[in-house]
Structure 1
């Protein structure tokens, strides 16, 4: 199933919606977080077609997302430059995902400060080592190319950095691609875990630094870094750069780390 077919069933009127065979995008008992966030985003922009460019989002992963859902979205406020839209996915058991999307027209720049490139910038993705995905979830095996972007392997500094590329992106706009890819890596806390165990994203918030993101040959540098981990939770910083070193996404996430 292509990315386009994942969002094809979403209609402007919302309401009861049957998603296609989403098992291919499954992660554990639910839908992969980037895919469910993309469904909520698509529901918003198809309902309200005159929105300004996307600037930021806050996504809460509440409970598992299944095949039969109800899509709800509403404009909370529409100002001169900024429009805030709430988009939710509901199931029989209640709200499965709640999200707030901030759209804003560009203003005359009164502050200009480009984001810095990360330390230890890796070589180009074409020269990077491919990473075997045999044991990865099916959606990664079927839809993503992943290559190494750091020397570290195994336990150590709680940072995971990879080159990632979405294979079947035809018919999907650049912002939607970034939303789908932004949550694809495991948390940096994985490198600090005392023993293997399940992990689960609880929320995800991000700022989009360019409303027309682009990168050569579709490769993006993604990084998940644990800022603090304790009591079964990790606070993660999620960032993405184009292949020429321009940061396009800056985010945070809370992750449950089970024992």
Structure 2
């Protein structure tokens, strides 16, 4: 399989996964990663995705076009476009990087390189479930499990969010996470400045970049189900209505799973 190789498929965007007019952003993120996993050799694991969603991804038929942009000895880069079927408009585009396991002998070991700190929070089993969905939350929230630790929107004093998140068995059966699920779930929580705002202003993600920093199979299941993940997010700064938000997902034992940077625009 050489550079320029293209694969095409169709995707019926399901109902009940909306965030506003279009689908929750995690849904096309997940689909783009899944497409690459289907096309790529098993030895090349998903490492990162950078994506933009310029149009609402509406319920209905779409075309998904995946193209191998670059294939090196250790990594590949794919471009994935999602197009509305009826008018061929690109509604989402992503660049997905895959790579082989380098098995490097580092000095000091790679475990010593990380500087991100696991937040001091109560374990998931000590945090109550909070229903998220209509009429106060987005439609897609009904499919996920939220255990908020920090205050709910408009009820806090800092633009910081901590809480446990999971993809429950009632939504999708499975004992382990996969790459596509993990890279989508980092987008599942409300923006961290909502905690601080007096009223929730409409916002839109302008750009999305996420790195997968663990082999999903190494996230141990709990009682035969997927482990909950700690969502950890904060706003770095805002300028001219555009903010930079850093999001992380952690395992219960403190391993960093996904790191995500989003540029988010406050619409009005």
TM class, shorter-chain normalised? 0.7 to 0.9
The aligned residue for residue 4 of structure 1 is: none
The answer to whether 1:162 aligns with 2:163 is yes
CA shift at 1:208, angstroms?
A: 0.9
Change (3 A) 1:51 1:38: farther
TM-score normalised by structure 2 residue count: 0.83
Distance 2:91 2:257 in 1: 28
More deviation, 244-253/192-201: 192-201
Matches within 5 A, 1:138-157: 138-141=139-142, 143-150=143-150, 154-157=155-158
TM-score (norm 1): 0.85
In structure 1, which of residues 199, 206, 214 is the aligned counterpart of residue 203 of structure 2? 199
Report Cα offsets for 1:80-138 as digits up to 9, x if no partner: 1011111110122621111011111122143512454334x111100112223252222
- Cα distance change, pair 152–19 in 1 and its aligned pair in 2 (3 A): closer
Equivalent in 77, 83, 90 of residue 76 of structure 2: 83
Structure 2 counterparts to residues 105-116 of structure 1, below 5 A: 105-107=100-102, 108-110=104-106, 112=110, 113-116=113-116
Q: Runs of at least 4 residues of structure 1 off by over 4 A?
A: none
Is 1:69 the equivalent of 2:79?
no
Q: Does 1:245 align with 2:240?
A: no
Are the counterparts in 2 of residues 198 and 257 from structure 1 also a CA contact under 8 Å?
yes
Query: What residue in structure 1 maps to residue 219 of structure 2?
Result: 214
Alpha carbons 2:37, 2:46 under 8 Å: kept: no
Structure with the largest fraction of helix: 1
Change (3 A) 1:138 1:196: closer
Alpha-carbon deviation of 1:211? 2.4
2: CA distance between counterparts of 1:51 and 1:248? 20
Give the conservation status (yes or no) of the 8 Å contact 2:46–2:212.
yes
RMSD: 2.3
Match of 1:256 in 2: 265
Q: Specify every segment of 5 or more residues in structure 2 that has no aligned partner in the other structure, as ranges.
A: 1-5
In structure 1, stretches of 5+ residues that fail to align are 1-11
Secondary structure, counterpart of 1:90 in structure 2: strand
